[in-house]
Amino acid sequence: MSSVYRRLPRPFIAMAPMKGITDTVFRRMLCEIAKPDLLYTEFAWAEGLCSPKPTRFKQQLEFHTTEHPIVAQLWGRSPAAFERAAAFACRLGFDGIDINMGCAVRKILKRGTGAGLIATPKAAAEIIAAVRSGAPDLPVSVKTRLGMNEVSVEHWCGFLLEQRLDALCVHARTAAQGYGGSADWNAINAVIALRNRISPDTVVIGNGDLSSTDHALSLHARHPVDGFMIGRAVLLDPYVLQRRDSAVRRDRASAHAVSPARCISLFREHVALHRRIWGKRRHAGVLKRFVAVYLAGIPEYTQLRRRLLRSETHAEMLAVLSTAAAKARQDRPAHADLRMHETNSPLESQSFHVLEPSHKEKTDECRVG
């Protein structure tokens, strides 16, 4: 079976994994708005998946079949946990396993996980080998940074390429930079040159300061990666994933240029889908982080945002959005684009791959001894 990375267009667009953001609900909404070529889950804690009570960690790996191709991203420190977690992800039907070696959040670094693994190459290699052992039929990739405190393409990225990964995604900053400064795309070119010399079959994905799919594609002539990964820009405008040449591209390039009624309708779909998929397993309060994603820039945004932030349940948020949608339709000018559907989304009739906890969790096979 060929690697999913070999079947993707060149250059392909991937949606970055973001904890608490890219759950199955948001991924499904992105699939409706502008589906990227490759999706990643939230990063799931390998040790948590192998704990006696793994249910809440398993939630991070729930997905719907329409999200394919989709890669499960794991983070942690224990090779034994990674092996068992990879085997579990394989059984769920993912298209690949990605190892997080790039998260630069301080508490993650202190545990020697995420980008903290840059300082311990031996541990990183053991984790890669463990994932391969747990999921021998799936491609294995790593998402990382250019180095810990300084750019270390030859030492660190070269070391990872020596592991003959199926794919290597590099955020063009060091761990010490976090998200400060500017992404160093010239260093990505150095990674490509190193790949060509050490591991020609490894797919290289570039990440950092990409504002849209069109922006990414415009960089390809100067930075010929196999794929681009877009992350934070989607939180400013989910329409940035659309391709200029896409057959399904809307007439308007930005969510802020789409009718207010459509923006409100999309967020209402998101809230309704969140309630249907998660129910009481995830509190409605997490949806407040998406208010600006869908609604920033529309008329009366400040007042609508205030009402939504005061809401504590799915029902309260839906009531606020329904009222706002009715007003937006009433206020919409006669020349508004009527081709953009605002109700009866196909999401309403689709079933999801939900990992319902059994009466007694069978965790022995995924427990770290």
Vertex 258: Cα angle to 257 and 261 (nearest 5): 130
User: Among candidates 33, 63, 51, 75, which has minimal Cα distance to 213?
Assistant: 33
Q: How far apart, in Å, do the first and last CA atoms of the chain sit?
A: 33
Query: Is the peptide bond preceding residue 69 cis, with omega within 30 degrees of 0?
Result: yes
Active site residue 103: yes
Q: At what angle do helices 24-34 and 260-278 cross, to 10 degrees?
A: 150
How far is Cα of residue 202 from the mean position of the Cα atoms in its chain?
Answer: 21
Task: Specify the amino acid at residue 199.
Answer: S
**Residues 191 and 210 sit within 8 Å (Cβ to Cβ):** no
Vertex 17: Cα angle to 84 and 110 (nearest 5): 70
Other C-beta atoms lying within 10 Å of the C-beta of residue 43: 25
Query: Is the peptide bond preceding residue 17 cis, with omega within 30 degrees of 0?
Result: no
How far is Cα of residue 26 from the mean position of the Cα atoms in its chain?
Answer: 9
Structure tokens at 232: 């934070």
Catalytic one of 31, 50, 90, 103:
103
* Chain position carrying tokens 């681009």: 228
Helix (H) or strand (E) holding 129: helix 121-134
**Residues 227 and 38 sit within 8 Å (Cβ to Cβ):** yes
Provide, for the chain, the percentages of residues in helix, strand and coil under a 3-state DSSP scheme, each rounded to the nearest 5. Answer: 45, 10, 40
**What is the C-alpha R_g of the chain?**
21
Helix (H) or strand (E) holding 12: strand 12-15
The residues carrying an active-site annotation are: 103
